[in-house]
Structure 1
Amino acid sequence: MKYWIYIITLVFGLSNLNAQEFECQVKVDAVQTGKLQLTIFDNLEQSLTEFVNQNSWTNNRNLKDHQKIKCSMFVNITSYEDNFFEASIQFQSSRPVFGSDISTPILNINDRSFNFNYTEFQPLNFNPNTFETNLISVVSFYLLTSLGMDADSFEKFGGTEYYQQAQQVASAGQSANASGWSSSGGSGDFNRFNLIRDLISQNFSQFREALYVYHREGLDQMHEDVELGKENIIQALDLLKENNKVRPNSLLVRSFFDAKANEVQLILNGGPEADVAAIKESLYKMAPGQNRVWKEIK
């Protein structure tokens, strides 16, 4: 298996390790429902926490705690009636930076089309080949997508198998006519089905290559050579610029900067000097929604 975790596991030796891949904090907020006295919200939070952290989402991955993917899910319930929930989900994941004690964000998504049915104490079981519930499908989709992006950040195109599994989940949700899975649906211009379609598409191969260059050849190198690491991060931004020329205003590029804007600003302002004028011009074009952050680059 090519994925980096396998190599790390061999280096450190095998022992009786947990097979779970995520260390995820889950929060369910039901303030807007006005029904905080109901226990179903606490039960949902506990069930989701166990579903994410106690399941094994990949094959042959025995991880120590420091190797697990850190993530958080904030589920905001806006309406609840007869076991039907209207909600949004904020999903964030990160991975460690080599040679440091910091983490870098990988995925930051705010999905406002998260409607589902759930009954108290209902077991949550994931089957990649069938649609069970929208609750299970949406959460599983983001876990698999974050696994893919994490893998891409350690090995060029290392996340393909996870993206393919996430696409299976999306296709099953679309076939079931479940909320938020239509290729033309979603809230605003965000769409789950299109997100995973683009991650698998050859049209976005430069985006995926940029994930590797930015993280493995950029951030992970900075503990040894700050100048080289910064140069490679600028190279990754150039790859994103080229991808943006072919597919302007894409969801993927915007999602990247939703997670990375503040980090990019700090990197460009710190360390060895760089010609930031041209870089800023590209950033303004790629992610105009982050213009407030780009103005801080000097």
Structure 2
Amino acid sequence: MNKLFLVIILVIGVNLNAQEFNATVAVNAEQTGNPNLQVFKTLERSLTEFINNTKWTTVDYRTEERINCSFFITISSYDNDAFSATIQVQASRPVYGSSYSTTIFNINDKQFNFNYLEFQPLNYNPNSYESNLISVVAFYLYTILGIDADTFELNSGTPYYQEAKNIVGNAQSGNTVGWAREQNPNRFRLNDDLLSGTYEGYREAMYTYHKDGLDVMHNNIKQGKETIAEAMKSLEGMHDARPNSYIMRVFFDAKADEISNVFSGGPSVNIAETIQILNRVAPTYSKSWENIKF
């Protein structure tokens, strides 16, 4: 009996202490000509621990609620502690009633230069700029938290976007690329768009698409597809106000292939208007729209 009680306490403790992310980090240094240097492996391990072991919010996430995300860092060159790189960030969330995970964020940031000394501690301080490495990673983590929240409850991601905005402000003092107001597109622009009423169609589409679309398809595929088609109209309204926006590209970088797959199988719905909208608001993804069979 005592052993059973102890096991229950341990399980509860694990759930209470579970952090927000289940992250994987991969560092590719092939372009440097010295990909097997220990510093790259240390960086990979340290970032993984930094992301997964830091408490980023006041919310108690259960282990199964942790957000799956990945950080792919490609290092092109380095000189002592100075690294030139790119970082691709992806995140997904489960679809209700299925084993399917849907991509909610997929971005390739080519403005990622940072300094790093092997074994240096990585700590996030919301009140100051510590390093570009920490700021970039923390910025994307809070952006992921916001986008994930928006897919479950309309506009509930705002506090996380505000925290990301704080990171932008602090990082601008470091004079590194990717944070300046005049650079477009960059991290400043992404955050500014997410918080701007001008682009609220993105957040409306993310909520409708996931909560009222994908999440109901286990029970009613046709209804889910029709709702996803409706979500595209939110993007059309945003496009009419600000055509060719960066945030539109962010949406379709994550969703283009999935949209094509959703509308190509299962019960047919009338999506002739949806195809017109997709070709109008996202013409660069026309190959994906051509693959839709209906």
TM-score (norm 1): 0.91
Q: Which residue of structure 1 aligns with residue 55 of structure 2? A: 56
Residue 84 of structure 1 corresponds to which residue in structure 2? 82
Structure 2 residue identity aligned to 1:15: I
**Conservation of the 8 A alpha-carbon contact between 1:93 and 1:106:** yes
The partner residue of 2:152 within 148, 151, 154 is: 154
User: For 2:114, which of 116, 130, 140 is the aligned residue?
Assistant: 116
* 1:228-253 superposed Cα distances (whole Å, 9 cap, x missing partner): 11111111111111111111111111
Matched, 1:216 2:214: no
Counterpart amino acid of 1:41? F
Counting only pairs closer than 5 Å after superposition, residues 1-150 of structure 1 correspond to structure 2 as 15-16=12-13, 17=15, 18-64=17-63, 66-150=64-148
In structure 1, the partner of 2:281 is 286
Deviation digits for residues 101-160 of structure 1 (CA, Å, limit 9, x no counterpart): 010001000000100000000110001121100000000000100000000000010100
State how far apart, in whole Å, the 2-side matches of 1:232 and 1:274 are.
11
Structure 1 counterpart of 2:272: 277
In 2, the alpha carbon distance for the partners of 1:88 and 1:194 equals: 18
Q: What is the CA deviation profile of residues 60-105 of structure 1, one whole-angstrom value per residue up to 9, with x for unaligned ones?
A: 32322x2110011100000010210000000000000000001000
Amino acid at match of 1:292: K
Displacement of 1:284 in angstroms is 1.5
Alpha carbons 2:229, 2:271 under 8 Å: kept: no
Equivalent pairs, count: 281
Q: Which moved more, 1:143-152 or 1:18-27?
A: 18-27
CA RMSD of aligned residues (A): 1.3
Whole-angstrom CA distance in 1 between matches of 2:263 and 2:142: 31
Specify every segment of 5 or more residues in structure 1 that has no aligned partner in the other structure, as ranges. Answer: 1-13
The aligned amino acid for 1:168 is N
Residue identity opposite 1:147 in structure 2: L
Matches of 1:259 and 1:167, distance apart in 2: 22
Does the residue aligned with 1:109 lie in a helix, a strand or coil? strand
Structure 1 residue identity aligned to 2:289: W
How far is 1:225 from its partner?
1.2
- The SS at the match of 2:57 is coil
1:248 aligned to which of 235, 243, 247: 243
3-state SS of the aligned residue for 2:152?
coil
Q: Which amino acid aligns with 1:146?
A: I
Structure 1 distance, partners of 2:81, 2:275, is 48
Once the two structures are superposed, the pairs formed by residues 201-240 of structure 1 within 5 Å of their partners are 201-240=196-235
d(CA) in 2 for partners of 1:239, 1:36: 45
Query: Displacement, 1:36?
Result: 2.5
Return the letter of the residue paired with 2:12.
S
Q: Give the TM-score normalised by structure 2.
A: 0.93
Looking at structure 1, the residues matched to 247 and 147 of structure 2 have their Cα atoms a distance apart, in angstroms, of 11
Partner secondary structure for residue 153 of structure 1: helix
The SS at the match of 2:176 is: coil
Q: Deviations over 1:30-60 (max 9, x none)?
A: 1101122421111100110001111111103
Look up the match of 1:8: none
Greater per-residue helix proportion: 2
Q: Who wins on radius of gyration, i.e. which is larger?
A: 2
Q: Are residue 200 (structure 1) and residue 199 (structure 2) matched?
A: no
- Unaligned stretches of 5+ residues in structure 2: 1-10
Q: Does 1:267 align with 2:266?
A: no
Counterparts of 2:160 and 2:130, CA distance in 1: 19
